[in-house]
């Protein structure tokens, strides 16, 4: 039997235990729980995707062009990248490149959710205040400091013009970050859409031979557009070179977080198509019970065809004859990529001196064809089996025919892709399956590719109502 002193000690120890348990319940556990909850909330906040991002990550449909299939006896599928939220196949790469820049600290984190709109919405108080010139009523020039916005210095100097473009863009930054890119339009539109939601300013350098619709869309999305004459890539005034210079200027002179996206050389472009688009395409094809005999598309930056080609080849996809899937490049007039694939030398006859009509290449197709080999294209070059030349007239005829046949209103590069896909399919045995890309719709090409006056000025024929593309002529 326990002694009185032992019972007293047990009671004391029991009381201490109850107090400790109470303290743990009242103070320690809630604190641990709050800490865990806060971490979970931080984790959830870090993966809070915009509607735009969710749509990109859901992917795009793969549809069979059944009337085309019935006509030629081979299945032709279109990966509808035009159904990305930005209306272009560039959305995936743009998102991946922006995310990588943020992850590496080249851009600030995305801005908080916008809950109100006022004059300060696009003004970042952490940005430096810049002096600007203004004219008094008597015409004299007075230096002033503006405390709420960055003003532009009127000037005709080439360097000042670049500075002004940077300052115009920075007025719209909610993060202090600036995204700069040289683009023929589609990547710029994808970047501008992303920047609008993430709070970064967007400055797009655009060559002057692109459809005016692209400029209007870019400006509507809040991007600052710097339109420049077309030039060879060796020229410092080429739109890509100017984009790089503008980003450097923003960093060095104004001390802001500015990134030149560099879609042609940035391997985040290749990476997303290798990791996402390629597997998605193959999965969708298998869901329809089909194997793949050929993948056919043109090249702009080279990221899409290189990433998908690398993935497909690595998967050792075979057709009924146990041959690897064919990867076929479609190339427009004036581009050097056809000869690079076919002969190992980047050359285009249209680029010869005295024969050059334009500084880059002679085609009305926007966003495809190059006079150089990019890092993205090089990453998948060894997996491209052959190349097909497609003329501008073939693309125009195909665009009108596919509208009448399948109800697809497509842009110039998509039309070239379809010509290449049908040519490739007809060279394969009956029952074969070919996949190509519909990159964007005709909405962005109304003033050029879908304009009869422009087509005539380019020296091409506006198709008649009963026109059949040459690639379908028996």
What pLDDT does residue 88 have? 86
How many C-beta atoms lie closer than 10 Å to residue 457's C-beta?
Answer: 10
pLDDT in tens, 192-251: 999 999 999 999 999 888 888 889 999 999 999 999 998 888 889 999 999 999 999 999
d(CA 101, CA 260): 10
CATH architecture of 51-85+278-461: 3-Layer(aba) Sandwich (3.40)
CB 82 within 8 A of CB 440: yes
Greatest CA separation for the chain: 116
Sign for the CA dihedral angle at 161, 163, 169, 171 comes to: negative
What pLDDT does residue 47 have? 57
What pLDDT does residue 356 have? 45
Residue 231 Cα distances to 105, 163, 237, 371, angstroms: 32, 21, 7, 11
Burial of residue 64 (number of CB atoms within 10 Å: 0-12, 13-18, 19+) = middle
How many C-beta atoms lie closer than 10 Å to residue 8's C-beta?
Answer: 11
pLDDT in tens, 332-357: 998 999 999 999 998 777 655 444 44
Q: List, in order, residues 6 or more apart from 21 with CB less than 8 Å away.
A: none
CB 322 within 8 A of CB 351: no
Sign for the CA dihedral angle at 353, 333, 185, 92 comes to: negative
What pLDDT does residue 428 have? 96
For the chain, give every domain's residue range: 51-85+278-461, 157-256
- Taking alpha carbons only, the member of 265, 287, 290, 307 closest to residue 81 is 307
CATH class given for the domain over 157-256 = alpha beta
d(CA 339, CA 387): 8
Spans in the chain with pLDDT lower than 70? 1-47, 113-156, 317-323, 350-361, 474
CB 74 within 8 A of CB 434: yes
> Within 13 Å of residue 386, how many CA atoms lie on the same side as its CB?
10
d(CA 356, CA 431): 42
CB 150 within 8 A of CB 171: yes
What b/e sequence results for 90-125 when a residue is b if at least 16 CB atoms lie within 10 Å of its CB, and e otherwise? bbbbbbbbbbbbbeeebbbebbeeeeeeeeeebbbe
d(CA 337, CA 373): 7
What pLDDT does residue 135 have? 32
Residue 389 Cα distances to 295, 324, 434, 471, angstroms: 16, 22, 17, 12
Distance of CA 312 to the CA centre of its chain: 21
CB 325 within 8 A of CB 317: yes
Q: Judge if pTM exceeds 0.75.
A: yes
What b/e sequence results for 378-394 when a residue is b if at least 16 CB atoms lie within 10 Å of its CB, and e otherwise? ebbbebbbebbbbbbbb
């Amino acid at each position: 039997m326990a002694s009185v002193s032992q019972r007293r000690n047990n009671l004391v120890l029991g009381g201490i235990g109850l107090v400790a348990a109470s303290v743990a319940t009242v103070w320690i556990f809630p604190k641990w729980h709050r800490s865990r909850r806060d971490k979970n909330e931080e984790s959830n906040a870090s993966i809070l995707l915009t509607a735009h991002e969710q749509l990109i990550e859901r992917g795009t449909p793969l549809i069979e062009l059944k009337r085309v299939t019935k006509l030629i006896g081979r299945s032709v599928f279109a990966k509808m990248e035009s159904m990305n939220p930005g209306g272009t196949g560039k959305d995936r790469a743009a998102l991946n490149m922006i995310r990588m820049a943020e992850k590496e600290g080249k851009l600030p984190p995305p801005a908080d959710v916008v809950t109100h709109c006022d004059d300060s919405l696009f003004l970042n108080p952490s940005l430096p205040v810049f002096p600007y010139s203004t004219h008094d009523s008597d015409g004299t020039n007075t230096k002033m400091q503006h405390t709420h916005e960055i003003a532009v210095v009127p000037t005709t100097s080439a360097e000042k013009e670049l500075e002004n473009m940077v300052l115009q863009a920075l007025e719209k930054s909610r993060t202090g970050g600036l995204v700069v890119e040289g683009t023929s339009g589609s990547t710029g539109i994808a970047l501008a859409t992303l920047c609008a939601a993430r709070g970064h300013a967007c400055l797009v350098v655009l060559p002057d031979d692109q459809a005016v619709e692209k400029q209007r869309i870019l400006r509507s999305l809040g991007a600052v557009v710097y339109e420049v004459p077309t030039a060879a890539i060796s020229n410092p005034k080429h739109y890509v070179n100017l984009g790089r210079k503008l980003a450097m200027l923003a960093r060095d002179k104004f001390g802001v977080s500015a990134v030149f996206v560099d879609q042609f050389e940035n391997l985040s472009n290749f990476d997303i198509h290798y990791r996402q688009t390629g597997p998605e395409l193959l999965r969708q094809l298998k869901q329809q019970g089909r194997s793949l005999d050929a993948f056919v598309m043109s090249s702009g930056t080279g990221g899409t065809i290189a990433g998908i080609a690398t993935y497909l080849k690595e998967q050792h996809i075979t057709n009924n004859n146990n041959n690897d899937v064919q990867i076929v490049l479609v190339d427009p007039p004036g581009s050097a990529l056809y000869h690079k694939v076919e002969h190992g030398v980047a050359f285009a006859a249209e680029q010869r001196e005295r024969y050059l009509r334009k500084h880059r290449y002679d085609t009305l197709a926007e966003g495809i064809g190059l006079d150089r080999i990019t890092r993205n294209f090089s990453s998948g070059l060894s997996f491209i089996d052959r190349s097909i030349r497609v003329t501008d007239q073939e693309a125009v005829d195909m665009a009108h025919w596919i509208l009448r046949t399948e109800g697809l209103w497509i842009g110039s590069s998509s039309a070239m892709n379809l010509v290449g896909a049908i040519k490739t399919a007809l060279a394969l045995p009956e029952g074969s399956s070919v996949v190509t890309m519909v990159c964007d719709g005709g909405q962005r090409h109304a003033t050029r590719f879908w304009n009869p006056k422009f087509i005539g000025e380019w020296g091409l024929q506006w198709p008649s109502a009963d026109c059949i593309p040459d690639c379908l002529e028996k």
